[in-house]
Protein backbone atom coordinates (compact mmCIF):
# COMPACT_ATOMS: atom_id res chain seq x y z
CA UNK A 1 0.00 0.00 0.00
CA UNK A 2 2.83 2.38 0.87
CA UNK A 3 4.50 1.55 -2.46
CA UNK A 4 1.24 2.09 -4.36
CA UNK A 5 0.69 5.51 -2.80
CA UNK A 6 4.32 6.55 -3.13
CA UNK A 7 4.49 5.52 -6.79
CA UNK A 8 1.19 7.29 -7.49
CA UNK A 9 2.67 10.63 -6.50
CA UNK A 10 3.56 12.71 -9.55
CA UNK A 11 4.69 16.29 -9.62
CA UNK A 12 2.18 18.88 -10.77
CA UNK A 13 -0.85 16.62 -10.52
CA UNK A 14 -0.67 14.39 -7.47
CA UNK A 15 2.35 15.66 -5.62
CA UNK A 16 0.76 14.78 -2.33
CA UNK A 17 0.54 11.26 -0.89
CA UNK A 18 -2.76 12.32 0.67
CA UNK A 19 -4.22 13.00 -2.78
CA UNK A 20 -2.77 9.74 -4.11
CA UNK A 21 -4.33 7.87 -1.16
CA UNK A 22 -7.65 9.62 -1.76
CA UNK A 23 -7.62 8.53 -5.44
CA UNK A 24 -6.91 4.96 -4.33
CA UNK A 25 -9.76 4.90 -1.80
CA UNK A 26 -12.27 6.71 -4.03
CA UNK A 27 -11.61 4.37 -6.97
CA UNK A 28 -12.04 1.40 -4.63
CA UNK A 29 -15.37 2.79 -3.37
CA UNK A 30 -16.54 3.44 -6.94
CA UNK A 31 -15.67 -0.06 -8.11
CA UNK A 32 -17.27 -1.62 -5.04
CA UNK A 33 -20.47 0.42 -5.30
CA UNK A 34 -20.82 -0.50 -8.98
CA UNK A 35 -20.30 -4.19 -8.25
CA UNK A 36 -22.76 -4.17 -5.33
CA UNK A 37 -25.40 -2.39 -7.41
CA UNK A 38 -24.96 -4.84 -10.32
CA UNK A 39 -25.24 -7.87 -8.03
CA UNK A 40 -28.39 -6.40 -6.47
CA UNK A 41 -29.87 -5.71 -9.92
CA UNK A 42 -29.13 -9.31 -10.85
CA UNK A 43 -30.97 -10.43 -7.71
CA UNK A 44 -33.88 -8.08 -8.40
CA UNK A 45 -34.26 -9.49 -11.91
CA UNK A 46 -35.16 -12.88 -10.42
CA UNK A 47 -38.33 -14.01 -8.66
CA UNK A 48 -37.92 -13.69 -4.87
CA UNK A 49 -38.22 -17.46 -4.36
CA UNK A 50 -35.61 -18.24 -7.04
CA UNK A 51 -33.32 -15.52 -5.69
CA UNK A 52 -33.53 -16.90 -2.16
CA UNK A 53 -32.95 -20.44 -3.42
CA UNK A 54 -29.83 -19.45 -5.39
CA UNK A 55 -28.52 -17.45 -2.42
CA UNK A 56 -29.17 -20.41 -0.11
CA UNK A 57 -27.31 -22.80 -2.41
CA UNK A 58 -24.37 -20.38 -2.63
CA UNK A 59 -24.36 -19.72 1.13
CA UNK A 60 -24.45 -23.47 1.82
CA UNK A 61 -21.53 -24.08 -0.56
CA UNK A 62 -19.51 -21.31 1.09
CA UNK A 63 -20.41 -22.63 4.56
CA UNK A 64 -19.22 -26.11 3.57
CA UNK A 65 -16.02 -24.62 2.16
CA UNK A 66 -15.42 -22.48 5.26
CA UNK A 67 -15.71 -25.54 7.48
CA UNK A 68 -13.36 -27.77 5.50
CA UNK A 69 -10.76 -25.46 3.94
CA UNK A 70 -8.66 -22.85 5.76
CA UNK A 71 -7.95 -20.99 2.51
CA UNK A 72 -10.98 -19.82 0.51
CA UNK A 73 -11.58 -20.27 -3.20
CA UNK A 74 -9.70 -17.32 -4.61
CA UNK A 75 -7.45 -16.00 -7.33
CA UNK A 76 -4.05 -16.49 -5.71
CA UNK A 77 -2.43 -13.28 -6.91
CA UNK A 78 -1.83 -9.67 -6.05
CA UNK A 79 -2.54 -6.58 -8.10
CA UNK A 80 -0.57 -6.26 -11.34
CA UNK A 81 2.97 -5.10 -10.51
CA UNK A 82 3.19 -3.42 -13.94
CA UNK A 83 0.77 -0.80 -12.60
CA UNK A 84 3.47 0.38 -10.20
CA UNK A 85 5.67 1.37 -13.14
CA UNK A 86 3.16 4.01 -14.32
CA UNK A 87 4.17 6.18 -11.33
CA UNK A 88 1.19 8.49 -11.85
CA UNK A 89 -2.55 8.62 -11.03
CA UNK A 90 -3.10 5.29 -12.82
CA UNK A 91 -1.10 3.45 -10.15
CA UNK A 92 -3.56 4.57 -7.47
CA UNK A 93 -6.67 4.32 -9.66
CA UNK A 94 -6.03 0.82 -11.07
CA UNK A 95 -4.96 -0.63 -7.71
CA UNK A 96 -7.93 1.01 -5.98
CA UNK A 97 -10.32 -0.38 -8.58
CA UNK A 98 -8.94 -3.93 -8.26
CA UNK A 99 -8.85 -3.89 -4.45
CA UNK A 100 -12.35 -2.42 -4.24
CA UNK A 101 -13.75 -5.30 -6.28
CA UNK A 102 -12.19 -7.64 -3.73
CA UNK A 103 -12.22 -10.87 -5.72
CA UNK A 104 -9.61 -9.97 -8.38
CA UNK A 105 -6.82 -10.58 -5.86
CA UNK A 106 -6.27 -12.87 -2.84
CA UNK A 107 -9.28 -12.57 -0.52
CA UNK A 108 -7.83 -14.58 2.37
CA UNK A 109 -11.03 -15.01 4.36
CA UNK A 110 -14.23 -16.96 3.74
CA UNK A 111 -16.21 -14.13 5.27
CA UNK A 112 -15.62 -12.12 2.08
CA UNK A 113 -18.25 -14.17 0.26
CA UNK A 114 -20.93 -12.72 2.54
CA UNK A 115 -20.40 -9.33 0.84
CA UNK A 116 -21.39 -10.29 -2.75
CA UNK A 117 -23.89 -12.87 -1.47
CA UNK A 118 -25.88 -10.45 0.63
CA UNK A 119 -25.68 -7.76 -2.07
CA UNK A 120 -27.40 -10.30 -4.37
CA UNK A 121 -29.91 -11.33 -1.68
CA UNK A 122 -31.08 -7.82 -0.70
CA UNK A 123 -31.94 -7.07 -4.37
CA UNK A 124 -31.81 -3.31 -3.75
CA UNK A 125 -29.17 -1.51 -5.87
CA UNK A 126 -28.75 1.38 -3.39
CA UNK A 127 -28.35 -0.97 -0.44
CA UNK A 128 -26.12 -3.34 -2.41
CA UNK A 129 -23.90 -0.45 -3.50
CA UNK A 130 -23.74 0.94 0.05
CA UNK A 131 -22.86 -2.41 1.58
CA UNK A 132 -20.13 -3.24 -0.93
CA UNK A 133 -18.81 0.32 -0.57
CA UNK A 134 -18.58 -0.25 3.21
CA UNK A 135 -16.29 -3.18 2.42
CA UNK A 136 -14.09 -0.97 0.20
CA UNK A 137 -13.87 1.74 2.86
CA UNK A 138 -12.92 -0.81 5.48
CA UNK A 139 -10.53 -2.76 3.22
CA UNK A 140 -8.72 -0.03 1.27
CA UNK A 141 -9.34 2.88 3.63
CA UNK A 142 -8.04 0.79 6.52
CA UNK A 143 -4.95 -0.16 4.52
CA UNK A 144 -4.29 3.46 3.62
CA UNK A 145 -4.55 4.45 7.30
CA UNK A 146 -2.27 1.58 8.31
CA UNK A 147 0.19 2.62 5.62
CA UNK A 148 0.08 6.14 7.01
CA UNK A 149 0.70 4.82 10.49
CA UNK A 150 3.26 2.36 9.08
CA UNK A 151 1.98 -0.45 11.29
CA UNK A 152 3.02 -4.03 10.59
CA UNK A 153 1.12 -6.93 12.18
CA UNK A 154 3.55 -9.79 12.70
CA UNK A 155 1.87 -13.14 12.04
CA UNK A 156 -1.48 -11.36 11.91
CA UNK A 157 -2.73 -13.37 8.93
CA UNK A 158 -2.83 -16.66 10.88
CA UNK A 159 -4.56 -15.21 13.91
CA UNK A 160 -6.98 -13.16 11.84
CA UNK A 161 -7.90 -16.08 9.57
CA UNK A 162 -8.87 -18.28 12.50
CA UNK A 163 -11.07 -15.60 14.04
CA UNK A 164 -12.57 -14.36 10.75
CA UNK A 165 -13.38 -17.86 9.49
CA UNK A 166 -15.14 -18.72 12.74
CA UNK A 167 -17.15 -15.51 12.42
CA UNK A 168 -17.89 -16.64 8.85
CA UNK A 169 -19.50 -19.84 10.18
CA UNK A 170 -21.64 -17.80 12.58
CA UNK A 171 -22.62 -15.21 9.98
CA UNK A 172 -23.40 -17.75 7.26
CA UNK A 173 -25.70 -19.55 9.70
CA UNK A 174 -27.51 -16.28 10.38
CA UNK A 175 -27.74 -15.59 6.63
CA UNK A 176 -29.38 -18.98 6.05
CA UNK A 177 -32.00 -18.05 8.67
CA UNK A 178 -32.65 -14.72 6.94
CA UNK A 179 -33.06 -16.36 3.52
CA UNK A 180 -35.25 -19.36 4.37
CA UNK A 181 -38.42 -17.27 5.05
CA UNK A 182 -38.07 -15.76 1.55
CA UNK A 183 -38.57 -19.12 -0.10
Partner 1 sequence: MGGLASKPLFRMALAMPLAGLGVLAGHQAGVRPWALLVTAALIVGLAQQTLP
Write out the residues near partner 1 by the rule CB under 8 A: 63, 66-70, 106-109, 111-112, 114-115, 118-119, 121-122, 124, 127-128, 130-132, 134-143, 146, 153, 155-167, 169-179
Q: Under a CB-based contact definition with an 8 Å cutoff, are residues 75 and 85 in contact?
A: no
Q: Which is nearer to partner 1, 14 or 132 (CB)?
A: 132
Residue 140 C-beta: closest distance to partner 1, Å: 8
Q: Which is nearer to partner 1, 10 or 84 (CB)?
A: 84
Residue 22 C-beta: closest distance to partner 1, Å: 17
The helix or strand, by DSSP H or E, that contains position 75, with its residue range, turns out to be none
Q: Under a CB-based contact definition with an 8 Å cutoff, are residues 65 and 110 in contact?
A: yes
Task: Classify residue 139 by its DSSP letter.
Answer: I
Residue 85 C-beta: closest distance to partner 1, Å: 22
User: How many helical (H) and strand (E) elements, i.e. helices and strands, does the chain have?
Assistant: 8, 0
Q: Under a CB-based contact definition with an 8 Å cutoff, are residues 79 and 139 in contact?
A: no
Q: Which is nearer to partner 1, 17 or 141 (CB)?
A: 141
Amino acid sequence: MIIMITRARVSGCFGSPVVAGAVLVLCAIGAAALTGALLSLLGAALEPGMRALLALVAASAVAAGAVTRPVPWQLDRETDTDWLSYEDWRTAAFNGFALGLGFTTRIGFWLFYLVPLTAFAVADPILGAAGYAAFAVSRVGGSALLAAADIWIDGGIVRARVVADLIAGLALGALLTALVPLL
